[in-house]
Amino acid sequence: MTPTRSTFAGLSTWEIVFWYFLIAVSTAVFVWGVVRLILKYRRGRGSLTVDRPLSRLWRTAAIVLTHSWIKRRDPVAGAGHFLIFYGFLVLFAGTVILGFQDDFAKPVLGWDFFRNEFYKGYSLFLDVFGAALIAGLAIMAYKRGIQKPFRLRYWRPDRAENEDGRRLYVIGDWAFLGILFFLALTGFLLESFRIAETNPSFEVWSPLGWTVGKAFRGLGVTGSTAADAHFVQWWVHGVVALGFVASIPFTKAVHMLASPASVASRDEQAGKELSPIPADAKPDEVGYGTILDFPPRYLVQLDACTKCGKCHAACPATNSGYPLSPRDLILDLREVAEGALGLRHELHVEPLRDPHASILGDPIRPETLWSCMQCMACVEICPVGIEHVPIINQMRRRLVERGEMDSTLQQTLESIYETGNSFGEASRKRARWTRELDFDVKDIRKEPAEVLWFVGDYASFDPRNQLVTQTLARVLRHAGVDFGILYDAERNAGCDVRRVGEEGLFNHLREENVAAISNCTFERILTWDPHSFHTLRNEYGAFDVDWKVVHHSQLLLELVADGRLAPTKPLDYRITYHDPCTLGRYNGVYDEPRQVLASIGTELVEMPRSRDNSFCCGAGGGRIWMTELKREDAPRPSEQRIDEAVALGGIDYFVVCCPKDVTMYEDAIKTSGHQGEIELRELTELVWESLDLASPVPVGDRGGEEEHA
């Protein structure tokens, strides 16, 4: 016998015609579903088009085909999805090849390639990848049904335990897995019954089907019995497969379409560079208050969410009992979009929503949005490119426009507007920390310097942080760095002001800082505050400034490498280092602080969550200026982080390089009950100790800032 097979063996003409009718219906339903999605996305504010389409297409193909985003931090789930993805893709390609042979190559071109060696290779390839599909589905079923990780639970931190409303999602998840299992298994059964009926020797190239087919023959399933079973199985498998294709735009399977589109349209600077508010924007155009305010790419992202829960597991707010889960926020917005613009609205299925109705309050509660620390953990780990942080920021903007914010936050913003700093202190006090130095610090407004040091609020006004600021000044002086500061002309850089949604105040601060800095002569800007570092480096570009901005960890490493700082006292401390969110995830500065720590002889022990997986201290996104929203029984993010460090065992110092981290973790060491077990040090303090210089003696009031004010 020639190695081949007939697609429609045993089917009459009318049955074949009916089959093609079902294909047409399935295809029509699928196309209608896709068109419906496109029409829904088009109702968003803005255009569906994206810039640099070819480069985006290339990047998307690389991300999707390598699974580089999916496998991160959960290689088992990544392997499972990899097997499912390629198993399904190859089986789908096999079906397309079969259709091409039957419907075009043979009847139109007279080319019958589906035989002999091609058929053997085809059979082996599909058998192997069919088995891979089943293995991948088994892995996912094990994780979801037996392992049950936290991220796959539909527990909601913003709802009562009996108010989750996510049971349909659980059913949908299992239905999706079940249907794919059914298709894979019935495909093998279909093959096995055909082999049991005809027993061709060349079908050994379908090893799994061959083995099961031989087992059926051993049980007496041969001849007409096997033929009848094959006939039934052909229709069952075929109809379910067509039904699955038709359902893709309407079920969990929609992520097969939306996820690649979401990855393709994602802003590469998502959350890092927030979009400005147009100068002519009306109050109801500031931020997002209705589902129609969302641009099309964000509506695509809502459908792309696979409910994998990676953002849910990474979010410090979720893990600390704040009423926020990035996953549930996206699902709530998806439900609004479907109820107002999508299938639920079209079929008049509850809940119906007016597209113009506000989403703030119901279902998106203000406390949910104010819980966000803007740490970017959710954006960084999302395998389908959802931009949670800028979405939250846009809804915060609308809340600020409506005056709906925490009272302490409002007071802080007013203080920043009136005094230029978040402490509400007079501007002349900004440089008071220089009084304790035994040398004068240049006023860079009056004389040029190599480095303009932008000090920042916490580094200028907080007593504990002032010690670090003074130490850094001494280190710079020792290294011969020519630096100066702005004294009373410096203002809050505006990073967290912008991230709470107060864009107008941010622009005001930016204008004042740009005006002050532009009148100075310098080569680069230095800051040890990652928030100021990020904003000066990335968010002042609208004023067409071209500044080189460095974090003090980068400058310290440079000074060590150049020999201008020569540590003489190796520090045999066992330390762990915390990556600040704004320095790490926002700006990719991970290695420099570690290299500085290595240069002074410390032994670094990494915490389980480090680098891009670092856990937030809880201060970002303006949270440091707000009242607590978390449950009383839940430890704060900073306390959890100290617990994580202490659990390493034998750690001398918890090392940070951010003023807000100094504040948050000094307090957390006390409140977490670990005082005496671990101490906090800022990077600069260890560098100073390694220089083995005489400890400075406070010289009292030098009257510095009054002279320069």
Q: What is the pLDDT of residue 14?
A: 96
In the block, tokens 């496109």 appear at 38
| Residue-wise pLDDT tens digits, 398-448 | 999 999 999 999 999 999 999 999 999 999 999 999 999 999 999 999 999
Whether the CB-CB separation of 332 and 368 falls below 8 Å is answered with: no
111: DSSP letter: -
Judged against a pLDDT cut of 90, whether residue 391 lies above it is answered with yes
| Residue-wise pLDDT tens digits, 639-648 | 999 999 999 9
Same domain, 574 and 560: yes
Judged against a pLDDT cut of 80, whether residue 485 lies above it is answered with yes
Q: What is the pLDDT of residue 525?
A: 98
87 found inside a domain: no
Task: Using pLDDT thresholds of 50, 70 and 90, give the confidence band for residue 564.
Answer: very high
For residue 210, give both structure tokens.
Answer: 């061959």
Q: What is the pLDDT of residue 353?
A: 76
- Compute the distance between CA of residue 26 and CA of residue 244 in angstroms, rounded to an integer: 9
Range of the domain at 531: 409-691
Judged against a pLDDT cut of 50, whether residue 700 lies above it is answered with no
Q: What is the pLDDT of residue 165?
A: 65
- Read off the pLDDT of each residue in 670-687 and give the average, rounded to a whole number: 96
Whether the CB-CB separation of 191 and 183 falls below 8 Å is answered with: no
473 found inside a domain: yes
Same domain, 394 and 460: no
- Compute the distance between CA of residue 348 and CA of residue 336 in angstroms, rounded to an integer: 14
Same domain, 310 and 419: no
| Residue-wise pLDDT tens digits, 192-237 | 999 999 999 999 999 999 999 999 999 999 999 999 999 999 999 9
Main-chain phi, psi angles of 306, to 5 degrees: -95, 0
User: Left, alpha or beta for 574 (phi > 0: left; psi -120 to 50: alpha)?
Assistant: beta
Judged against a pLDDT cut of 90, whether residue 691 lies above it is answered with yes
151: DSSP letter: G
| Residue-wise pLDDT tens digits, 25-46 | 999 999 999 999 999 999 999 9
50 found inside a domain: no
Compute the C-alpha angle 493/498/499, nearest 5°.
Answer: 120
Same domain, 633 and 494: yes
Same domain, 605 and 660: yes
Same domain, 430 and 376: no
Judged against a pLDDT cut of 60, whether residue 583 lies above it is answered with yes
| Residue-wise pLDDT tens digits, 308-328 | 999 999 999 999 999 999 999
Whether the CB-CB separation of 127 and 207 falls below 8 Å is answered with: yes
Q: What is the pLDDT of residue 352?
A: 65
- Compute the distance between CA of residue 117 and CA of residue 464 in angstroms, rounded to an integer: 77
- Compute the distance between CA of residue 331 and CA of residue 324 in angstroms, rounded to an integer: 12
4 found inside a domain: no
**Sequential DSSP letters for 22-35:** HHHHHHHHHHHHHH
Q: What is the pLDDT of residue 709?
A: 37
344 found inside a domain: no
CATH number at residue 364: 1.10.1060
- Compute the distance between CA of residue 462 and CA of residue 290 in angstroms, rounded to an integer: 40
CB-facing half-sphere around the CA of 308: CA atoms within 13 A: 27
CA distances from 678 to 609, 634, 650, 663 (A): 18, 22, 9, 15
Kind and range of the H or E run holding 654: strand 653-656
175 found inside a domain: no
- Read off the pLDDT of each residue in 578-587 and give the average, rounded to a whole number: 98
As a whole number of angstroms, the longest Cα–Cα distance in the chain is 104
* Higher per-residue confidence, 282 vs 593: 593
Side chain identity, residue 393: N
Whether the CB-CB separation of 241 and 183 falls below 8 Å is answered with: yes
For residue 40, give both structure tokens.
Answer: 């829904």
In the block, tokens 């504990």 appear at 464
Main-chain phi, psi angles of 398, to 5 degrees: -70, -40
| Residue-wise pLDDT tens digits, 326-342 | 999 999 999 999 988 87
CB atoms within 10 A of CB 621: 29
First to last CA, the chain: 98
Main-chain phi, psi angles of 574, to 5 degrees: -100, 115
- Compute the distance between CA of residue 310 and CA of residue 379 in angstroms, rounded to an integer: 10
Same domain, 496 and 622: yes
- Compute the distance between CA of residue 573 and CA of residue 427 in angstroms, rounded to an integer: 39
652 class by beta-carbon count within 10 Å (0-12 exposed, 13-18 middle, 19+ buried) = middle
- Compute the distance between CA of residue 419 and CA of residue 69 in angstroms, rounded to an integer: 44
Last residue of a domain, one of 386, 404, 422: 404
Tally of domains in the chain: 2
Q: What is the pLDDT of residue 541?
A: 84
Side chain identity, residue 380: E
- Read off the pLDDT of each residue in 70-85 and give the average, rounded to a whole number: 96
Q: What is the pLDDT of residue 632?
A: 82
Choice among 37-46, 122-131, 273-282, 672-681 with the minimum mean pLDDT: 273-282
| Residue-wise pLDDT tens digits, 474-483 | 999 999 999 9
Main-chain phi, psi angles of 545, to 5 degrees: -100, 150
CB atoms within 10 A of CB 541: 11
Same domain, 666 and 592: yes
Same domain, 442 and 520: yes
Mean pLDDT of the chain: 93
622 found inside a domain: yes
484 class by beta-carbon count within 10 Å (0-12 exposed, 13-18 middle, 19+ buried) = buried
| Residue-wise pLDDT tens digits, 597-631 | 999 999 999 999 999 999 999 999 999 999 988 88
125 found inside a domain: no
Q: What is the pLDDT of residue 575?
A: 98
CB-facing half-sphere around the CA of 694: CA atoms within 13 A: 4
Cis (ω within 30 of 0) for the bond into 637? no
Main-chain phi, psi angles of 648, to 5 degrees: -65, -30
Whether the CB-CB separation of 304 and 385 falls below 8 Å is answered with: yes
List the one residue out of 615, 448, 457 whose CA is nearest residue 527. Answer: 457
**Sequential DSSP letters for 556-580:** HHHHHHTTSS---S----EEEEPPP
Same domain, 471 and 519: yes
Same domain, 513 and 650: yes
**Sequential DSSP letters for 338-363:** HHHTSHHHHTTPSSP--TTS--BTTT
416: DSSP letter: H
Judged against a pLDDT cut of 50, whether residue 707 lies above it is answered with no
pTM to 2 decimals?
A: 0.93
Q: What is the pLDDT of residue 704?
A: 42
Dihedral (C-alpha) 493, 496, 499, 505: value to the nearest 10 degrees? -50
477 class by beta-carbon count within 10 Å (0-12 exposed, 13-18 middle, 19+ buried) = middle
Judged against a pLDDT cut of 90, whether residue 113 lies above it is answered with yes
Task: Using pLDDT thresholds of 50, 70 and 90, give the confidence band for residue 360.
Answer: very high
Whole-angstrom Cα Rg for the chain: 31
Q: What is the pLDDT of residue 164?
A: 61
Same domain, 460 and 567: yes
CB-facing half-sphere around the CA of 196: CA atoms within 13 A: 29
For residue 306, give both structure tokens.
Answer: 């696979």
| Residue-wise pLDDT tens digits, 494-526 | 999 999 999 999 999 999 999 999 999 999 999
CB atoms within 10 A of CB 448: 13
- Compute the distance between CA of residue 288 and CA of residue 266 in angstroms, rounded to an integer: 18
CB atoms within 10 A of CB 100: 15
